[in-house]
Structure 1
């Protein structure tokens, strides 16, 4: 009888400890601008989906915390982090020296750079070949800056669009000769809408960019959890699986 009581008490204590541990996992509010497929966007059910979303969910599972994604306009996304409305920001954010002064970043989770998209029949093979050509870009992006450096800030040959997909659609219809844009967005669009019709050019002059997960300046504990989870999903193949799902090889 005593052994049974001891066993029961031990079992109850173990169950209590398990439940307490499960409840201890904190839920963090995550800001993301869900208008940048395939990194973050909304599906037909208004659910936030995308590469960044899957990556952070996997990181959270390994890092021992939970996440709640909140669609947050880009203009105010960093302010929401600094004022405490958001605990984490993941939104294809390039790590820059300027941003590092006001927030802390995880280790890089994505290497990005600009790509040139052209029609398969085009004779364009490098950035310099775009001189005198019409270039489509998304307004205010790195692609826009690259086009300005090549053609000049006021060049009428730079055609600006609200999104990269709109710029690529203009390329497909013959309105521009090429599009300069983020590699992830370009590759995703071509895979889903332009197979056999479009090709990409990786010019050596385009600098590498690295995306990081941002937390409020000084939040070392959360940053350690994120980096721990990121290292784990890179080590066990989870990251590669998610990457392949969105970007192929």
Structure 2
């Protein structure tokens, strides 16, 4: 797990942008520039390293795809709950940010083929007596705003007595947990396992539902969705995607 750092949001270019974000701009090498939106607080998929650079599984995935397609990649860091809005406003060309391809999101954006699936977990402090879904009644659960876990936690609150607290950034949720202002955090399983290992926490799986896999998001009607999907399928066949999983998602 790379060290978590809070990054400054990238400056959004003023004025109306072209229908495909800023991809019509060219670099000094003559390549078209393509702009990716992400929320770099979701290790190991995207986070800031000790030098402030955005790194992670999604970053390497996006770099590989855009290199294959001949684009120069620019990355913009923003809050997760603003990513779909950025696609709709054409301030980014695509989003790679551990985003699950839910039916609700598909109403507003298009997705590539799935590139990862991990499920969900709850993480708690090591001394917590919350050890399964049966122990959640009467607890306060933290989620990241705009995520699939945010939506699922609200549905869970209809069946059991829980209070849901949604914040923009995962590091803020970790601090809430450590300060015992919330009882557990509900998040992607791969990310949860990283926090459990690095911060000596504990956790348990959410066995209540199966979430859709992660995919790259695009504005409705974007031709990039098909182009990116083709490269992802090639990466699956060549073993390149498995190499990225070994690098970022497997325990050392």
TM-score by length of 2: 0.71
Q: Which of 217, 220, 224 is matched with 1:217 structurally?
A: 220
Secondary structure at 1:30 match in 2? strand
Work out whether residues 141 and 185 of structure 2, in 8 Å CA contact, stay in contact via their aligned partners in 1: yes
Q: Which of 27, 35, 49 is matched with 2:33 structurally?
A: 27
Work out whether residues 38 and 95 of structure 2, in 8 Å CA contact, stay in contact via their aligned partners in 1: yes
Q: Whose radius of gyration is greater, 1 or 2?
A: 1
Q: Which of 45, 49, 70 is matched with 2:76 structurally?
A: 70
Equivalent residue number for residue 88 of structure 1: 94
Work out whether residues 41 and 170 of structure 2, in 8 Å CA contact, stay in contact via their aligned partners in 1: no
Secondary structure at 2:210 match in 1? coil
Deviation at 1:202, TM superposition (A): 1.2
Q: Provide the C-alpha distance between the structure 1 equivalents of 2:130 and 2:164, rounded to a whole number of angstroms.
A: 16
Work out whether residues 59 and 233 of structure 1, in 8 Å CA contact, stay in contact via their aligned partners in 2: no
Equivalent residue number for residue 6 of structure 1: none
Secondary structure at 1:110 match in 2? coil
Q: Which of 196, 208, 211 is matched with 1:208 structurally?
A: 211
Deviation at 1:71, TM superposition (A): 2.6
- Figure out how many residues of one structure are paired with residues of the other and give that number: 223
Alignment of structure 1 residues 1-249 onto 2, 5 Å: 26-74=32-80, 76-139=82-145, 141-151=147-157, 157-172=163-178, 174-194=180-200, 198-220=201-223, 222-248=224-250
Question: In proportion to residue count, which structure has more helix?
Answer: 1
Q: Provide the C-alpha distance between the structure 1 equivalents of 2:235 and 2:119, rounded to a whole number of angstroms.
A: 23
Runs (5+) with no aligned partner, structure 2: 1-28
Equivalent residue number for residue 6 of structure 2: none
Deviation per CA, 1:163-190, whole angstroms, max 9, x where unpaired? Answer: 3334344444555443222223312222
TM-score by length of 1: 0.71
Secondary structure at 2:75 match in 1? strand
Work out whether residues 131 and 203 of structure 2, in 8 Å CA contact, stay in contact via their aligned partners in 1: no
Q: Which range is displaced more, 143-152 or 206-215?
A: 143-152
Deviation at 1:57, TM superposition (A): 1.0
Q: Provide the C-alpha distance between the structure 1 equivalents of 2:135 and 2:169, rounded to a whole number of angstroms.
A: 24
Deviation per CA, 1:88-111, whole angstroms, max 9, x where unpaired? Answer: 222222213333233321101121
Secondary structure at 2:202 match in 1? strand
Runs (5+) with no aligned partner, structure 1: 1-22
Deviation at 1:53, TM superposition (A): 0.8
